[in-house]
Structure 1
Amino acid sequence: MEKEQLEKEISKLKTLLMENLTVNLGVTAVDDHDYNRTKILFENIVEKDVNDYCLKMGYNIKFRFIIKNNKGLSGIALNNTQEFKEMGINIIIGHPSSTHCYVSMEYVNKNNMLLFSSSAQSSQLARKGDNLLRMHPNDAYQGHVIAEMLSSRGVRAIIVIELESLWADGIYKILEDIFLKKGGIVLERVKYNLELTDFSSHLARIEDIAVDAVRRYGREHVNIVLLSYEEGIKIVKQAKDFSTLYSLYWFGSDSTARFLAYTSEASEELTHLKIFSPLPEPTKSQFYFSLNQSYYALTHEPLDFDTASKYDIAWILARAILKSKTTDVKRLLEVIPEVASMNFGASGWCKLDENGDRETANYGIYGYEYVNGTATYKNYGVYDGTLGRVFWIEFPSS
């Protein structure tokens, strides 16, 4: 008994001193594909980089990342969270999905755990004081980006067509606020139900508004903003029957960016309207290019924003643990914002806002065009999150 008690005391002392320890951190993947690439990233790159740094800096600590697959199911995500807790792991790089975070947060908060997600972006998760951090701007932030895209093109008036949803409401609220401050005007806001398939009555109404707006402001100063998911394909196809609406450029959100699955259904309409849409992307720094080269050699895939963010989260957590000399979640939640704000990682500047979400990011701006007779997406520009400005690579002539 004395030996066991002594070992416990030694273990406790090591923990307090953060010496001769292996710190286990959990990682979750959203599905099989994500699991495979996440496993490659952490086993071949992250764990080596972090532990090499610890050795170089004289820390007698090792980090180990244990990866679980949520299999695309919320129930499995919650089970994985509970299993990590049973293993003594309170810190998880995950969950990638907003839905998986939703179902886990009650358990996470109650059991003093921490989720740090790379890609959950629902604005409904933007809450102060909980144990969820996100290395992704919330959905509503796109309103900033879209407003800047419009104003940078000299657009003075817009008509918004949006799915009736909390998601679209969040984007619209910020879009309207920023666009009005920049001197723009929202001519009409049309909300539709997800079950609707015939949009002709909505389109007929805003066609009349568009005709008057073009006469008043000029065609190049009037645009359409579409906040939709897959049903947006029906809208753009039906818009072809309304000459003024079809003569304007359309803008969208990340849900209409690089929408290749539907180019075969509406190639003519997509390439005509363009649907300029923002999509979060890593800042193209020298560090990103170097890491991307290593990652691509292992996976034959480019390092995307979500995967680069996982890499950055691992570093932020490691540095926060080393700085605070603890894995206590409450203490880490106090330290992480400062550590993140000083980290310009593979994905870019990692500063968090008051809700613990990424404050900003770079966004690629994508539209559609024909390339060698095939409809595909094209990168037309970039939104620089640090500067809050849009830089167009090119813009099609009217």
Structure 2
Amino acid sequence: MKELLRTLRTRALLPLTLLVPLATACADSTGADRGGIVIGGLFSLTGDWSSLGLAGRAAMELGVEDVNAQFADRDLRLRVDVRDTKLDPATALKELESLHDRGVQVVMGPQSSAELAALKPYVDSQRMLVVSPSSTAGSLAVSGDGILRLTPSDTLEGEATAALMWSDGIRTLVPLWRGDAGNRGLNLATRASFAARGGSVAAGSEYATTTAQFAPVVTALGAQVRQALASRPASQVAVYLAGFDEVAAVLAAAAADPTLATVRWYGADGIALSPALLTPQAAAFAERVGYPAPIFGLDDDARDRWKSVADRIEKRSGVAADAFSLAVYDGVWLAAQAYLASPSHVDGNGLKEKFASAAEAYFGTTGWTALNAAGDRRFADFDFWAIRGGRWVRVAKYDTRSRTFIR
């Protein structure tokens, strides 16, 4: 088995030029003209989680540039139409409808599960293909729809986070989460995995997506933490906080409650590597309470593939690239392969089949991209990032197959 995997990986790492003949042979057999295909992008450029939105847009642009350079002498040419969703589901749907009116069949994004859930009925009814780099909600793990996700569903992230907590000696968890589909799903997955290990989980609290003042939220959280401390030492109690950029305001408010600084805190993928948390007050509290946050990790064996692309993404966007933004880059290449392998008149359902087939054997900047029956990434490890000395550093890596940590 190890020898087989080694052989497959070696083949996957071959220059992309060697992959072209097979794909173009499929295209040539149709005689179709594929010049000027527009791929849509739905990213939060000016709203919450704009760090990923900006990096995702850059990754998409670079992916299209590289695909077009690779196939300069072929009949495939891609173009980009990126729209700003502001991480708002209604805006995302409006922009998707506009892209569809333009004839767009394939869309990269959106970022959040709440946006993706709002798009799903339209995507399915219009036979489009939407490829999210970062949605994790288990409620969207549906076989046969028009959605693919180049990130694993929340079940694996919940397992990784609970495993880290348990390894750190945590036995009682007090969760706090943003009231959107993705963060609700992460809360459910994490608390379920933690409870399955024998831990106790408090009721926790959900705050609305429109919340701007977090003092009342933190007061309620503090009450639950004090209740947990009545039966457990502080070393065994932790807060799990899942949200987006507003987490910086939550941490700043929490700094006013000394009790909340006596327990450890853990985060979720929506804030991992976020510049929003590097503001002085938020960063100081995050560093004091630990606050490691997971994101699906980059394969160290693929460093020669992702490092140069990550550097280009950062140079163009001003934002450090992560696995989510690199998944956008991989998504563009897979979309190109899907178009090349399809007849000239193909809808999103047909493209989805070819996309998934290409993903099965593709080793891109994010490693193996194979999808499961629900169209979600099948394999993933998780890197945990925490703020140390005013910057994000990797503090642990979790292998979901061996269920082991590297620290």
TM-score range, shorter chain: 0.7 to 0.9
Alignment of 1:376-387 (within 5 A): 376-385=391-400, 387=402
Pairing partner for 1:254 from 261, 269, 272? 269
Residue 328 of structure 2 is aligned to residue 316 of structure 1: no
SS in 2 for 1:67: strand
User: Structure 2 unaligned runs (5+)?
Assistant: 1-25, 47-53, 86-90
User: What is aligned with 2:282?
Assistant: 266
CA distance in 2, matches of 1:312, 1:359: 15
CA distance in 2, matches of 1:83, 1:180: 48
Alignment check: 8 A CA contact 1:158 1:188 kept: yes
Residue 133 of structure 2 is aligned to residue 118 of structure 1: yes
Post-superposition CA distance 1:336-371 (Å, at most 9, x none):
4343222221112212223212234343312223x3
CA distance in 2, matches of 1:231, 1:125: 24
User: What is aligned with 1:46?
Assistant: 67
Pairing partner for 1:162 from 177, 183, 202? 177
Residue 83 of structure 2 is aligned to residue 70 of structure 1: yes
Q: Which structure has the greater CA radius of gyration?
A: 1
User: What is aligned with 1:11?
Assistant: none
Query: Kindly tell me: are residues 47 and 296 of structure 1, through their superposed partners in 2, closer, same or farther at Cα, counting changes over 3 Å?
Result: farther
Cα offset, 1:229, TM superposition: 4.3
SS in 2 for 1:379: strand
Higher relative contact order (CA closer than 8 Å, sequence separation 6+): 2
Pairing partner for 2:204 from 181, 190, 202? 190
User: Structure 1 unaligned runs (5+)?
Assistant: 1-13, 56-60, 393-398
Cα offset, 1:252, TM superposition: 1.3
Residue 310 of structure 2 is aligned to residue 289 of structure 1: no
User: What is aligned with 1:22?
Assistant: 34
Residue 290 of structure 2 is aligned to residue 278 of structure 1: no
Alignment of 1:106-185 (within 5 A): 106-139=121-154, 141-181=156-196, 183-185=197-199
Cα offset, 1:103, TM superposition: 5.2
Corresponding letter in the other structure for 1:78: E
Corresponding letter in the other structure for 2:79: I
Cα offset, 1:96, TM superposition: 5.0
Alignment check: 8 A CA contact 1:35 1:69 kept: no
Pairing partner for 1:207 from 226, 246, 254? 226
**Cα RMSD (Å):** 3.6
TM-score, normalising length from structure 2? 0.73
Query: Kindly tell me: are residues 197 and 357 of structure 1, through their superposed partners in 2, closer, same or farther at Cα, counting changes over 3 Å?
Result: same
Alignment check: 8 A CA contact 2:264 2:291 kept: yes
SS in 1 for 2:131: strand
Deviates more, 1:275-284 or 1:289-298: 289-298
Corresponding letter in the other structure for 1:197: A
Alignment check: 8 A CA contact 1:226 1:253 kept: yes
Corresponding letter in the other structure for 2:191: E
Number of residue pairs matched?
358
Query: Kindly tell me: are residues 46 and 321 of structure 1, through their superposed partners in 2, closer, same or farther at Cα, counting changes over 3 Å?
Result: closer
Q: What is the percent sequence identity of the aligned residues? A: 19
Cα offset, 1:230, TM superposition: 5.1
Alignment of 1:75-86 (within 5 A): 75-85=94-104
Query: Kindly tell me: are residues 81 and 117 of structure 1, through their superposed partners in 2, closer, same or farther at Cα, counting changes over 3 Å?
Result: farther
Query: Kindly tell me: are residues 117 and 20 of structure 1, through their superposed partners in 2, closer, same or farther at Cα, counting changes over 3 Å?
Result: same
Query: Kindly tell me: are residues 209 and 100 of structure 1, through their superposed partners in 2, closer, same or farther at Cα, counting changes over 3 Å?
Result: closer
Corresponding letter in the other structure for 1:337: A
Alignment check: 8 A CA contact 1:118 1:134 kept: yes
Query: Kindly tell me: are residues 62 and 118 of structure 1, through their superposed partners in 2, closer, same or farther at Cα, counting changes over 3 Å?
Result: farther
SS in 1 for 2:103: helix
Corresponding letter in the other structure for 1:381: A
Corresponding letter in the other structure for 1:160: P
Corresponding letter in the other structure for 2:332: A
CA distance in 1, matches of 2:156, 2:308: 29
CA distance in 1, matches of 2:400, 2:363: 13
TM-score, normalising length from structure 1? 0.74
